[in-house]
Structure 1
Amino acid sequence: MIDLLEPLRGPLLLGAAVTAGLQAGTYYTWASGVMPGLARVDDRTFVHAMQEMNVAIVNPVFLASFLGAPALAVAAALAVDAPVRPWAVAAAGLALATLIVTAAGNVPLNDALAQTGVRADFESAWVRLNAVRAVTSTASLACLAWAAWRS
């Protein structure tokens, strides 16, 4: 399998790193700017803004990087040579962890906010989970960059 992917090694590492970077940038932006900004507004504004953003983010552009980051990281892990494979495998695991945290944590909180409109039950848990996503996606990017550099 690895021999079949050899010609794609560089493009897979590049694509995996770019999508990991897009994901890391998304979660970093939410952690460093969006949520601190929303923390300053009243409950009604906060809930309405989050509900609208949670609907708007489910779009082909976001989904391509959200699903593409772990898929390309797994493909890169299969394509790289043994010396850098542990870094690519770590990157894939971290990208998958980002997806799992989102699906198991952030999305249920988003759904609950859509139903209840209660900020107090949402904000602090969502911010913590987003910080985890920022760390896992950034670490995935770092592992992919290291694997690419060492390849």
Structure 2
Amino acid sequence: MAVLFGAVVTTGLGAGLFYSYACSVMPGLARADDRTFVDAMRRINVAILNGWFMLSFLGSLALIVCAAVLEWRGGGRTVLLWIGAAAAFQLAVLVITGTVNVPLNNELAAAGSPERGTDLATVRGAFESVWVRWNLVRALASTASFACVSWALVLASRTPAAD
């Protein structure tokens, strides 16, 4: 039960992060000029690579998988199905991040500056709409994962523990 609770907490933290980007960070940056937008996103992309973020981002899937293994060994199949759904949604978040958002972040980091003749409007245009759209998908998938693992915890708490 403790592993499943940890999965709920870490998954909730991740869902909250993507949600906050979707409804506050990116809409706020959308109002900024090109230089401010590019500079802010570059700084955010560097700052987010820290242990606390990685704990929730990678730890959530690890804990969900651990919870699935524990449930497989002695729990109910209904709980396992909800944990499996949470794992699938969380895996989708990781795949989207690794195949869409991180490559876009890397392209943004590698883009030049106005001093080098780089047009920041073009850099921003290649980044912003795609990144925002896929972040929304991540927000929805991570929220679905959070809902599934939360429901699994509710069901597991109602089920008598196997002796």
The reply to whether residue 112 of structure 1 matches residue 117 of structure 2 is no
Question: Paired residue for 2:29, among 26, 38, 41?
Answer: 38
- Give the aligned residue type for 2:132: V
Runs of 4+ in 1 over 3 A off after TM superposition: none
The aligned residue for residue 148 of structure 2 is: 143
Moved more, 74-83 or 54-63: 74-83
State TM-score, norm by structure 2: 0.85
Following superposition, the deviation at residue 83 of structure 1 comes to: 2.3
The aligned residue for residue 43 of structure 2 is: 52
Report the RMSD for the aligned CA atoms in angstroms: 0.8
**d(CA) in 1 for partners of 2:108, 2:125:** 10
Following superposition, the deviation at residue 86 of structure 1 comes to: 0.6
**Which protein shows a greater Rg?**
2
- Give the aligned residue type for 2:126: D
Give per-residue Cα distances to partners, 1:103-142, cap 9 Å, x unaligned.
Answer: 1110000000111251000000000110011011110110
The aligned residue for residue 129 of structure 2 is: 124
- Give the aligned residue type for 1:25: G
State TM-score, norm by structure 1: 0.92
The aligned residue for residue 66 of structure 1 is: 57
Question: Paired residue for 2:8, among 12, 17, 34?
Answer: 17
1:64-103 matches, cutoff 5 A: 64-80=55-71, 81=75, 82-103=77-98
- Structure 1, unaligned stretches of length 5 or more? 1-9
Give per-residue Cα distances to partners, 1:55-74, cap 9 Å, x unaligned.
Answer: 00000110111110111111
- Give the aligned residue type for 1:128: R
Moved more, 89-98 or 24-33: 89-98
**d(CA) in 1 for partners of 2:137, 2:78:** 28
Following superposition, the deviation at residue 77 of structure 1 comes to: 1.4
